[in-house]
Amino acid sequence: MQQYNEVELSALGMAITTVVTIAEILKNNGLATEKKVLTSTVGMKDENKGRQVQKAQIEIVLGKSEKFDSLMNAAIAAKEKDDEK
């Protein structure tokens, strides 16, 4: 996010909860704002069953919050202070 001002998180199936959790952590800590959330299904071949199955997919686009730079600078300063000890 520092480099591009936004990030896209994407996941399929069981990984969706992880991506949603990451997005919520970034938003709750004031680092990101939600720009867009898309849900869909994707057809994939199930190797075990040999047939097409539908998997849920999510895409979350997060933008850099107004406080992002100041929060990151404070975190870097705190880490440097701890490293000096």
Q: Which CATH architecture has domain 6-84?
A: 2-Layer Sandwich (3.30)
pLDDT in tens, 23-62: 999 999 999 999 999 999 999 888 777 888 899 999 999 9
- Distance CA(39)–CA(58), nearest Å, equals 5
Whether the pLDDT of residue 85 is over 80: the answer is no
The residues spanned by each domain of the chain are 6-84
How many CB atoms neighbour CB 28 within 10 A? 9
Q: What pLDDT, on the 0 to 100 scale, is given for residue 47? A: 78
